[in-house]
C-alpha cells in the first residue's frame, strides 16, 4: 500500500482567510496565542504568548478566537475534494488527511501524474500544505510533520515503487520527540540516551515491550508496516453546509461575487464527488451584529454546474440591499437527486440523435426558466399544457415552465383531430338567432361539421355539436349547438 499524508498547518488561520492577510492576525485559545500569520510573526508575535503581551507588541493586532468546529468543517471539505482522487480518504485530527493512493495509480498513469494533478488542485484550495509519502499511515504522518524533503524523494519512477531503504533512512533520522507517545515514554527514551527513531528500532521488540509497554511496541509496528493499520474511511456528509467569514463588511452585491463563487466551487466539488444534482440553494448573509438574511434559489431542474448556480444567485441578489454590510456568507443545500442521463446533457456529438437533441433543447428551456424565476420570483414562469379532457375549455392547464420530463403529458394524437382555432373565448358566448340561423356580425353559414363532443359526465355533462361557420366577409368561427337546450354559442375564432 502507498499512503499520502496531507497536513494543513495553517488551518486555524485559513478558516478566517487570514493566513495571507497583510494585517497582523493571531488565533487565540483562551488567553494564549496558538498561531500567528506572517505579518504578526514579523512583529514578534508567536504561539504561546499571552494575548495581552501580543497586543502590546502590535496595537493593530487582530485576535480571533479559535473555532474548532469551523476547522473540522474545512477539513471535511478538503476530504470531500480529495475523494475525486481516491475513495480511501481518512481524517487525521486535527489538521491532516490520509489518502491511500497505491490502488488508484493505474487510473492516473503514474505517481508523477497523480502528484501534478493533486498538488496543483490543492494549491487552489488551501495555503502551504505539507506532505508525507510512505508505506504505512503512521510513517506518512510522521514524515509530513518532521521531514522537509519532497514527498517524492523516495519514489523510483522507473519501477513506480518506493525506495524502502531510503525511506527507512529518513524515518530512522526522526527525533524521538516527534513520536506519538506519552510524556512518560518520551522521558524514558531520553533517560536511556535514545534520541532518534533509528536507535529505538535497533532494539528488539521484546526489550522495547519490557521497558515501554506493549502499546508502544504496536505503535512501532504500525510505523514500519509490520502490523496492519486500517483507517476509518471518511464519507462525505449527506447535507452540504459551508460558510466563508470575510473579516470585513461587504455592502455591494458585486463585492459578494467572489466569496459566493468560492462557496459554489465547494458545492460543485461536493456534487461531482457524490454524483448528485442540486435543485435548491439556500444562502444566509450575516452582518457584523449577527443579523441574518435568507435567500433561496430554486432550479427548474436539478443541476451541478457552478456557473449556472452563480448566475441565478446573482439575479436573486440584485433585488436585495444590505445597508448593514455582510461579514459571513453561508451556503446550505439538502435538495439532491442522483445523476442520471442529465449528466450527459451538453455532451457534443457530430451526429446527435433526436432524443439527444430534444434533451439539449429541454435543458435550454430549463435554464431560461431558472433565469425568469430568479428575476421575477419562484413560479412566475408558466406555460400551457394539454390534459386528458375532451371539453375544449377543460383540455388545458397552466403548469410551471418548463414542464418536468418526469410528468407525463396527455397522449393526444392532435393530427387526427378536426381543425381547431388558436383562440378560444374565455367563456362560450351565446349567439342570437335570425331566421333560425346563428348570427354574429351577420348570418353564419355552416361550412364543416358537426363534430360531437360529449364528456365530463362525472361532474357536469357537456354535450355539444361543433361546426366551422363563415360570415359573408370570409371570417371563420368555431361555434357549437348545445344538445340539451339547442342554443348556439361562439367558442373560438380561426386566425
> What is the DSSP code string of 381-430?
-EEEEE-S-SSGGGSEEEEESSPPTTSPPP---GGGSPP--SEEEEEEEE
Rounded-to-5 percentages of helix, strand, coil across the chain: 35, 30, 35
Determine contact, residues 182/202, Cβ cutoff 8 Å: no
User: If you average pLDDT over residues 5-28, what whole number do you get?
Assistant: 91
Determine contact, residues 302/273, Cβ cutoff 8 Å: no
* Rounded Cα distance, 199 and 180, in Å: 16
422 CB-contact burial (10 Å; exposed 0-12 / middle 13-18 / buried 19+):
exposed
Is residue 171 very low, low, confident or very high in pLDDT (cuts 50, 70, 90)? very high
Determine contact, residues 133/152, Cβ cutoff 8 Å: yes
Look at residue 123 and tell me whether its pLDDT is greater than 70.
yes
Look at residue 7 and tell me whether its pLDDT is greater than 50.
yes
Model pTM score: 0.68
C-alpha cell read off for 460: 357536469
CATH class of domain segment(s) 240-344: alpha beta
Task: Give me the residue spans of the domains in the chain.
Answer: 3-23+60-224, 240-344, 415-493
Cα dist from 288 to 69, 70, 255, whole Å: 20, 18, 16
H or E segment to which residue 299 belongs: strand 292-303
Helix (H, G, I), strand (E, B) or coil at 66: coil
In 3D space, the residue among 29, 31, 123 whose CA is nearest the CA of residue 68 turns out to be 29
Residue 243 β-bridge partners = 330
**Residue range 286-319, pLDDT digits in tens:** 988 888 889 998 887 788 888 889 988 988 888 7
Helix (H, G, I), strand (E, B) or coil at 261: helix
**Residue range 333-371, pLDDT digits in tens:** 999 988 875 443 344 444 455 665 566 666 666 777 776
User: CB count, 10 Å around CB of 433?
Assistant: 10
Supply the pLDDT for residue 342. Answer: 45
Residue 326 β-bridge partners = 250
**Residue range 62-112, pLDDT digits in tens:** 999 999 999 999 999 999 999 889 999 999 999 999 999 998 888 888 999
Helix (H, G, I), strand (E, B) or coil at 63: strand
Amino acid at each position: 500500500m502507498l499512503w499520502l499524508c496531507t497536513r494543513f498547518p495553517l488551518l486555524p488561520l485559513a478558516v478566517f482567510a487570514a493566513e495571507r492577510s497583510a494585517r497582523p492576525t493571531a488565533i487565540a485559545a483562551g488567553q494564549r496565542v496558538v498561531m500567528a500569520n506572517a505579518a504578526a510573526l514579523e512583529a514578534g508575535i508567536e504561539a504561546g504568548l499571552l494575548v495581552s503581551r501580543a497586543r502590546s507588541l502590535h496595537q493593530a493586532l487582530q485576535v480571533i478566537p479559535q473555532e474548532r468546529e469551523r476547522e473540522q468543517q474545512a477539513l471535511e471539505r478538503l476530504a470531500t475534494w480529495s475523494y475525486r482522487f481516491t475513495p480511501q480518504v481518512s481524517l487525521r485530527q486535527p489538521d491532516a488527511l490520509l489518502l491511500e493512493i497505491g490502488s488508484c495509480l493505474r487510473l492516473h498513469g503514474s505517481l508523477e501524474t497523480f502528484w501534478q494533478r493533486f498538488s496543483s488542485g490543492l494549491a487552489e484550495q488551501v495555503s502551504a500544505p505539507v506532505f508525507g509519502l510512505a508505506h504505512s499511515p503512521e510513517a506518512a504522518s510522521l514524515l509530513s510533520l518532521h521531514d522537509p524533503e519532497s514527498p517524492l524523494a523516495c519514489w523510483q519512477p522507473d519501477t513506480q515503487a518506493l525506495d524502502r531503504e531510503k525511506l527507512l533512512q529518513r524515518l530512522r533520522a526522526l527525533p524521538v520527540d516527534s513520536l506519538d507517545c506519552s510524556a512518560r515514554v518520551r522521558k524514558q527514551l531520553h533517560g536511556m540516551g535514545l534520541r532518534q527513531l533509528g536507535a529505538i528500532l535497533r532494539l528488539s521488540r521484546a526489550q522495547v515491550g519490557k521497558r515501554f509497554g506493549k502499546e508502544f511496541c504496536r505503535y512501532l509496528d504500525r510505523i514500519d508496516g509490520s502490523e496492519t493499520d486500517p483507517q476509518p474511511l471518511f464519507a462525505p456528509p449527506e447535507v452540504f453546509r459551508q460558510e466563508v467569514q470575510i473579516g470585513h463588511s461587504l455592502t455591494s452585491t458585486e463585492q459578494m461575487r467572489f466569496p459566493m463563487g468560492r462557496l459554489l466551487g465547494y458545492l460543485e466539488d461536493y456534487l461531482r464527488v457524490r454524483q448528485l444534482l442540486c435543485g435548491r440553494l439556500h444562502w444566509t448573509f450575516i452582518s457584523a451584529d449577527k443579523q441574518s438574511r435568507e435567500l433561496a434559489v430554486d432550479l427548474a431542474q436539478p443541476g451541478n454546474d457552478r456557473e449556472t448556480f452563480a448566475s441565478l444567485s446573482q439575479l436573486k441578489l440584485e433585488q436585495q440591499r444590505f445597508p448593514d454590510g455582510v461579514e459571513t456568507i453561508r451556503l446550505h443545500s439538502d435538495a439532491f437527486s442522483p445523476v442520471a442521463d442529465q449528466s450527459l446533457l451538453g455532451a457534443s456529438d457530430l451526429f446527435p440523435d433526436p432524443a439527444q437533441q430534444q434533451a439539449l433543447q429541454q435543458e435550454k428551456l430549463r435554464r431560461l426558466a431558472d433565469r425568469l424565476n430568479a428575476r421575477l420570483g419562484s413560479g412566475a414562469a408558466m406555460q400551457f399544457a394539454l390534459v386528458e379532457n375532451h371539453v375544449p375549455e377543460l383540455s388545458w392547464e397552466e403548469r410551471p415552465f418548463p414542464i418536468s420530463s418526469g410528468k407525463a403529458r396527455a397522449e393526444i394524437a392532435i393530427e387526427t383531430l378536426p381543425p381547431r382555432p388558436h383562440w378560444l373565448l374565455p367563456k362560450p358566448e351565446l349567439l342570437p338567432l335570425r331566421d333560425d340561423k346563428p348570427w354574429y356580425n351577420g348570418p353564419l353559414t355552416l361550412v364543416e361539421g358537426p363534430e360531437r363532443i360529449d364528456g365530463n359526465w362525472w361532474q357536469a355533462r357537456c354535450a355539444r355539436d361543433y361546426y366551422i361557420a363563415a360570415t359573408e366577409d370570409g371570417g371563420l368561427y368555431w361555434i357549437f349547438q348545445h344538445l340539451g337546450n339547442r342554443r348556439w354559442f361562439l367558442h373560438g375564432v380561426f386566425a
